[in-house]
Structure 1
Amino acid sequence: MALQEQDIHPRSDDQSKPDRITVRSLILGLITAVLMAYTGNLLEMVLHAGSLVKSSYPVALILWFCIWVMINMVIGVVHRPWMLTRIELLVIFGAIWIAGMMPGVGWMGYLIGALPAPYFFATPENRWAELFFDQLPMWAFPNPTPEIMDRFYFGLHEGEAIPWNAWVMPVWWWFSGALALMAAGYFVICIFHRQWVDAERLTYPLVQFPEDLVEGFDEGRVIPNILKKPVFWYGFAWTCGIILWNVINFWYSNIPRIDLFDNVNVKAMHFARNFPPFYARILPPVIGLGYLCSLDLLFSFWFFGVLALVKVGTINRTGLTIGLEGQPSKAGEIIALESHGAMTVLVIWSLWLARRHIKTVWSQALRGERGDGPIPYRFAVVGLACCASYACNFLMNLGMSFGMAVGQLTLMFVAYFAAVKFIAASGFGYLFPVWTKGGSFLKIVTGTVRMTTGDLIATRLADTSVLFGGTRFQTIQMIPHHLKAMDRVVQGRGLVSIVIFAGFVLSFIVSAGTIIYYCYVESALFLRSWTLWEGPHGIFGGIATSLAETEKTVFDLQKMGMWLFGGAEAAVLAILRSRFAWWPFHPLGLAFQYTTGPRYYALSIFLVWAAKLIILRAGGPRLYEKAKPFFIGTVVGYCIGIGIGMVIDLIWFPGEGHGFHNF
């Protein structure tokens, strides 16, 4: 009854808190980020309770934010003036988004696992020492002594201490390179922020989600508005209920499981020989968050995703290849070339649309005017130049030539820009760009004949998840959402950027330190993490394979032609969309057609597209708004169910996790 009375009589306007970032929200956000970074690595790599880092909008983020919503409700019951405001909760949301991306397979497991690996796993059979040890940048790896290497993999002897000093410098250098990339991304996003918000009016669905969960707190309500709607609990019940039903099977195996949410490994459906499988994968976060995405994007994702399967299968069946003799590209590479060309044109098209804004930014930067961006444009332009220069120098110190470093950075800009902008536009967290770092594209199209040994080594190191993560790149995908959420802030705007950089630094330190600690205490081999064993073998085995090849590849006009063809397709689709409002095909679907998201989740995307289409046709915007809590509840129920399941795993099945969440 007390809760109902508080909700009936919210605090008056003069009692409401203004939109401002407080120091307490910054501190709480960073503390939570530290806890996430520690527990994320602990749960995945030590306790084997599963990984919650599979997308750019990880389940760990949603779960921890839901915990904070519940904490705020408890605070409201105990002492309402202490409740966190909407903006304070969104500050916490931004900080934990950064931390949610780093643990284990997100990034840090690959980085720490790779540093001692070349010396420990080198054998006469794999010829690593013979092929590339003399060219390996020694400053980027710990000293190969038994006290450092052997203890890392086999554990410390009794009475020995962890050799932290041996790790400080190599980890610092990799951190500095990643920080330069993150900061460069931050400055680019600050430059384009007003263009995306005001001119192009991106919808930012991934900001809508947490805002809907906290709506009502600023009016003094103890319970968020969405939790009072029965339709929210219908969505919550069906996803959380399925997970908790399956938990019963842990003790009573005669009770059948509901395998609706099982991962792609058991959801593959083969329709024809040489055709890729279609994955009948149902993933509630894709369905729930996809409801906030526009219909044309949803349609393009599943349509081009299915079409890509047909194209790959047809190419495989016909035996078609492109490329010069001795360096052919088969089906997967052909589609990747087409997609990369389309993605590049999308970025060029975006820059063209923003040409007036870019001109304004440049003129204001030259004159030293503040501008309307999150930070002064002069600071953004100078900061971008400095960070890009440092990143280029970092790649050159890894072994790249200047031309290769510039080429790789340019391709990284294309991939990151496309992913960041269109995640903000679509809300699709599984939007992973093809050839994210660009190294594979350079080798396939331009050839390796002019690449030095240093180029090949550095390209491989930079192209993998060691530097700034892999397809799940770090932090920059949250920046446009964080800036959008903070647009209404009137006090404490200086803390907006501090959240990003402090969250990145603290999450990195805690994640790296946690993995190093447990590898020495428990032994890396005992942890049985893929990032500590198979991952490093793939990275350095790939270097050895590249260097051992006696026949170098050359520039291939046929492959470049396929890349240009993909770009031309995207250009035509973009022009048609600009001319005809009814045109249903978005070039974004083509650019990401055979990547993880559309390939694994075409069925989930189709289902939410069909549901949203029916809802809009039947009841228009009013019914859309009424149904929205169901889809938000679908996501929340799934994440809460996973959280409960992992707690059960830790209590009753420690070290034998059931893997509640995967691709």
Structure 2
Amino acid sequence: MNTTLKTQKRERPNHTTWRAIVLGLLLTIPHGYFSVQTPTPSTVSLIYPVILNLTLLILLNLVLKRWLPRQALSQGELLTIYTMLSLAVAIGGHDVMHVTAPILGHAFWFATPENEWQTLFFSYLPRWLVVDDLRVLKGLYEGDSSFYNLDYVKTWLTPVFWWSMLLFALMVVMLGINTIIRKQWMEHERLAYPIIQLPLAMTRDGGSGKFLGSRTLWIGIAIGGGINLINGLHAFFPAVPLLPIRNIEIGHYFTEKPLSAIGWTPVCFFPFVIGLSYFMPLDLSFSCWFFYLIWKLELVLGAILGLRSLPEFPYIKPQTSGAYVGIAAIALFSARKHLYSVFRSVFDKSSRDDAEEPMRYRTALGCILLGGVFLAFFCTKAGMSLWVFFLFFGFYFMLVFALSRLRAELGPPVNELYNIGPDQMLPRVFGTRQLGASNLTMFALFWGFNRAHRCNPMPYQLEAFKLAEEAKTNQKYLVQTMALTSLLGIWVAFWSFLDVRYREGFGGSFGWEAYLNLERWLYYMPGRDIAATAFMGGGFGLMLILTFLRRRLLWWTLHPVAYPMGSSWTMNWMWFPIFISWLIKRLLLKHGGIAAYRNAIPFFFGLILGEFFIGGIWNIYGVLSHQYIYTFWH
């Protein structure tokens, strides 16, 4: 009895500490700097540099537990650091800073008499949001220069400040929304959160030899790592065979109409996708690859019926956009009782319904309102009409809300919402003349956080709450920690972009996409796209129908959230690995039951870790050596 009490006293509390926060902030800087230089880490849901760092911390922690047990990190501390680094890499990643920063000076550097950009839209660009000094931009685009010039720093200071505040306001609103919806999805609906299973398992008890001692784990590591080791060595020694894990394309075998309409259809083998898909619910993994084939079937049917004469049939982007809005609407409707209790708690000071929440519902609502007011001020100051502001950000937050739901319920290895945001859909619904040049210019400037959403911070915030719940960590400290990390992550990402590009230069990158869209809108002034609007409504309606069928018919196995996900570009790469994972999991459950499923979990953890570790090392080496070696993900 006395021994037990002494042991309990020696145990470290499993909560967020200042040392974890300080360590996380220090590690945020190199992680943010690295993420700006390569797209790979932030295009997958589970960010591999963070997993590598977590692995190293756990190995160090095992040493501390052996020799200095009082100094060892708890699970809560390790997961706090994991959350902070995930946010930092996401902010500096492919669909946030990689796109936002190049937009700021692009129009002025690449304007020519031939493209007539100066006449088309220069007068609509707010000078406090862009850099128009060609002398300052020369070093950025041509390289062989240094950002650390007083004139350069002063010129960039104003736009970087305002863009930092905009991005931070978006994340504050996201934190408020996540706080309000947390209980509904975690406690009432009990969504699975598949993406967090690996970091949870790795950090259990602050990291343990039991996890690393699993033989099946190392078999998975050997397979996932071995494939990447061989393919990486091929870059140095061509005599080493290249394993064709993503070079098989079956679309070109269909040369006759109508089957030729399926287009590019790769068959790939990504170990980390197989590993992550194992933790998706079985009906969801089935629905993913099934709906991918349905989208291909739509293309074939269009060719059979002659509908391919329509410019974009089957209007995949509008369909998908409407479907994601449908996901958000259904999720809000399902949460109506919870939202009513939230509303009651906000106005009833005696209510204690939110006592255990990351922040009080009144505070969360305040975050949403204050963030929204700042966004409105920012946009109207920049020239956006107020009615367009409400449409734009209402649409935007519906999409990221749906994305967060997708990650919590489905846990896809990659989540991509490319080209389906309000910046692309509103011009099609209302026409460019109705919106006007000033609003369209703001759409182009906002391309940075609307392009594809693969590293949108909102799902990472929500997953952080789930990690804290599982680790029994104080979530109130976590909110402040994420807010601080977000602000630091934004500044580090801007600084990293400017530091690297002034040394190396670049060719404009994603700035071309933003301003070519704007050029097309202002030059051709396309009107309302009735067909696209109809298909968008059709996507919304079909999502409602699929949800109704799933809730009413017990035998209906198709999950509606997979319908829009199956249309994404990255599903071309993922459909076959997801199919493999689904097939293995189905066979294990059918012939071995739940015990066989659980016994196989370490193997699939190993597939993820092996690919992330060896593939990640090749990627890091390539960044450090300034050369392309091998990228395990496209």
What's the TM-score once normalised by structure 1's chain length? 0.88
Deviation at 1:360, TM superposition (A): 0.5
2:232 to 247, 250, 274: 247
Indicate which of 540, 546, 551 corresponds to 1:567: 540
* 1:381 pairs with 2:369: no
Q: Which of 165, 175, 183 is the aligned partner of 2:172? A: 183
Shift of 1:624: 0.8
Once the 2 structures are TM-superposed, how far is the Cα of residue 294 of structure 1 from its aligned partner? 0.2
Paired position in structure 2 for 1:161: 149
Q: Is the 8 A contact 1:37 1:100 kept in 2?
A: yes
Deviation for aligned residue 1:576: 1.8
User: Larger % of helix: which?
Assistant: 2
Q: How does 1:638-657 map to 2 (within 5 A)?
A: 638-646=611-619, 649=622, 654-657=625-628
**Pairwise CA distance, 1:292:** 0.8
Contact 1:51 1:662 (C-alpha < 8 Å) held by counterparts? yes
The residue that corresponds to 1:276 in the other structure is 263
Match of residue 362 from structure 1:
343
Hey, what does 2:160 align to over in structure 1? 171
Equivalent residue for 1:446?
Answer: 430
Q: Distance in 2 between matches of 1:181 and 1:647?
A: 30
Which of the residues 384, 389, 398 maps onto 1:400?
384
Is the counterpart of residue 516 in structure 1 residue 498 in structure 2?
A: yes
Instruction: State the match for 2:217 in structure 1.
Output: 232
Q: How does 1:493-504 map to 2 (within 5 A)?
A: 493-504=475-486
* Structure 1 match to 2:606: 633
Q: Distance in 2 between matches of 1:126 and 1:650?
A: 34
CA pair 160-586 structure 1, distance change in 2 beyond 3 A: closer
> Is 2:11 the counterpart of 1:30?
no
Deviations 1:489-536 (A, max 9, x none): 66754321122111111111112112212222x2413xxxxxx52421
Shift of 1:547: 0.6
- Please point out which of 90, 105, 119 is paired with 2:94: 105
Deviation at 1:434, TM superposition (A): 5.4
1:208-607 superposed matches below 5 A: 208-217=197-206, 223-260=208-245, 262=246, 267=249, 269-270=251-252, 271=254, 272-316=259-303, 318-320=305-307, 329-331=311-313, 334-368=315-349, 369-372=351-354, 373-433=357-417, 435-462=419-446, 464-465=447-448, 467=449, 470-487=452-469, 492-520=474-502, 522-525=503-506, 532-549=507-524, 552-554=526-528, 556=530, 558-607=531-580
Structure-2 separation of matches of 1:446 and 1:159: 42
Gaps of 5+ in 1: 1-8, 45-49, 323-327, 526-531
- Find the residue that maps to 2:42 and give its secondary structure: coil
**Matched-pair identity in %:** 23
Q: Secondary structure at the match of 1:105?
A: coil
Deviation string for 1:542-577 (max 9, x for gaps)?
A: 211211115x31362x44332232222222221121
Secondary structure of 2:567's counterpart equals coil
Amino acid at match of 1:540: Y
For residues 237 and 546 of structure 2, the distance between their equivalents in structure 1, rounded to whole angstroms, comes to 54
| TM superposition outliers: structure 1 runs of 4+ over 6 Å | 156-160
| SS in structure 2 of the partner of residue 472 of structure 1 | coil
CA distance in 2, matches of 1:159, 1:586: 50
Once the two structures are TM-superposed, the CA of residue 236 in structure 1 deviates from its matched residue by 0.5
CA gap 1:268/1:151 in 2 versus in 1, 3 angstroms = farther
Residue 499 and residue 313 in structure 1: after superposition, are their counterparts in 2 closer, same or farther (change >3 A)?
farther
The reply to whether residue 613 of structure 1 matches residue 586 of structure 2 is: yes
User: Could you tell me how far 1:111 is from its partner in structure 2?
Assistant: 2.2
Paired with 1:491 and 1:294, the residues of 2 have a C-alpha distance of 26
Q: 1:244 to 1:630 in 2, by over 3 A?
A: same
In the TM superposition, residue 645 of structure 1 has moved relative to its aligned partner by 2.5
Alignment coverage as a number of residue pairs: 621
Task: Supply the RMSD in Å over aligned alpha carbons.
Answer: 2.5
Q: What residue number does 2:595 align with?
A: 622
SS of the counterpart of 1:208?
Answer: helix
Query: Distance between the aligned counterparts of 2:451 and 2:60, measured in 1?
Result: 32
Q: Distance in 1 between the 2:500 and 2:418 partners?
A: 34
Cα deviation digits, residues 300-328 of structure 1 (max 9, x gap):
11100111022124325644269xxxxx6
Q: Deviations over 1:50-83 (max 9, x none)?
A: 7322123322222222222222223334423321
Partner of 1:658: 629
Q: Deviations over 1:408-440 (max 9, x none)?
A: 111111110111112011221412235453221
Q: 1:41 Cα shift?
A: 2.9
> How many Å apart are 1:206 and its aligned residue?
1.8
Is this contact kept in 1: 2:141–2:508, CA < 8 A? no
- Does the C-alpha gap of structure 1 residues 255 and 129 become closer, same or farther in structure 2, counting only changes over 3 Å? same
Match of 2:139 among 151, 157, 179: 151
- Alpha-carbon distance between aligned partners in 2 of 1:159 and 1:38, rounded to the nearest angstrom: 15
Q: Is 1:70 the equivalent of 2:51? A: no
**8 A Cα contact 2:109 2:134, kept in partner:** no
Q: Distance in 2 between matches of 1:154 and 1:277?
A: 36
Counterparts of 2:142 and 2:534, CA distance in 1? 51
Q: Does 1:142 align with 2:131?
A: yes
- Which residue does the alignment assign to 1:16? 11
- The answer to whether the Cα contact below 8 Å between 1:249 and 1:255 also exists between their aligned partners in 2 is yes
Deviations 1:356-405 (A, max 9, x none): 10000001101234533321111111221221222233233333211211
Q: Cα offset for 1:88?
A: 0.8
Q: Residues 414-471 of structure 1, C-alpha deviation per residue, up to 9 Å, x if partnerless?
A: 1101111120112214122354532211112222231211121112222x12x47642
Partner amino acid, structure 1, of 2:593: G
Pairwise CA distance, 1:606: 0.6
Of 430-439 and 288-297, more deviation after overlay is shown by 430-439
The verdict on how the C-alpha distance between 1:562 and 1:25 changes in structure 2, with shifts beyond 3 A counting, is same
Q: 1:262-314: CA deviations, max 9, x gaps?
A: 4x7x7564334232211212222221111111011111111001110221243
Work out the CA distance in 1 between the residues paired with 2:477 and 2:158.
29
| SS of residue in 1 equivalent to 2:41 | coil
Q: In structure 1, how many angstroms separate the alpha carbons of the residues matched to 2:616 and 2:147?
A: 37
Report the CA distance shift for 1:438/1:72 in structure 2 as closer, same or farther (over 3 A).
same
Partners of 2:91 and 2:455 within 8 A in 1: no
Distance 1:436 1:159 in 2: 35
- Residue 361 and residue 313 in structure 1: after superposition, are their counterparts in 2 closer, same or farther (change >3 A)? same
Which of 70, 75, 98 in structure 2 is aligned with 1:81?
70
Matched residues in 2 for 1:483 and 1:510: separation? Answer: 24
Structure 2: give runs of 5+ residues left out of the alignment.
none
Query: What TM-score results when the alignment is normalised by the length of structure 2?
Result: 0.92
Measured after TM superposition, the shift of residue 650 of structure 1 is 6.5
Kindly indicate whether the alpha-carbon contact (under 8 Å) linking 1:94 and 1:499 is maintained by their aligned counterparts in 2: no
**Partners of 2:232 and 2:630 within 8 A in 1:** no
Deviation at 1:234, TM superposition (A): 0.6
Name the CA distance, whole Å, in 1 between partners of 2:631 and 2:196: 25
Q: Which amino acid aligns with 2:605?
A: I
Structure 2 counterpart of 1:541, which letter? L
The farther-off stretch of 469-478 and 298-307 is 469-478
1:196 offset after TM fit, Å? 0.5
Q: Would you say 1:129 and 2:113 are equivalent positions?
A: no
